[in-house]
Chain A
């Protein structure tokens, strides 16, 4: 996860508190998606950015996960996400992100 974005997420968590924050990601592959989720939940696994050692514990989901998709109007989802859903390895992304989330919570 981009170091500048780690800094922004950390600042937002300090400003708003972590209780009502929710992170939605749109990562292109399972690895990048899993790393983003791990970073905002348990800290930067690469030990490189401002979230190193910072366990924010933020709930984080990929936009294609069924729990999130179910909350979006199907026609709006299709219009905005449908095309990329056909291109990306959705099943692997969902599996990786949900596994990381379980491990970090």
Chain B
């Protein structure tokens, strides 16, 4: 599902931050092109 994809990560400071999602994708055949952790406070 993720192979070969250009991935946009929209993390959430009160949920799953983008860094944690990025760590899960390390070594996979994909490219993270944007990664941010939103903060709604």
Contacts and interface: CB of A to CB of B under 8 A. Distances in A.
A24 B20 contact: no
Interface residues of B, number: 30
Contact of B16 (A20, A23, A40, A84): A84
A1 B14 contact: no
A105 B17 CA distance: 27
Contact of A12 (B15, B18, B34): B34
A79 B40 CA distance: 25
Contacts, number: 104
Interface of B: 1-2, 4-12, 14-18, 20-21, 23-26, 28, 30, 33-34, 36-38, 40
A63 B9 CA distance: 10
Contacts of A22: 1-2, 5-8, 30
Interface of A: 1-2, 5, 8-9, 12, 16, 20-29, 32-33, 36, 40, 58, 63-64, 67-68, 71-73, 76-77, 79-81, 84, 88
Contact of B1 (A16, A67, A73, A76): A67
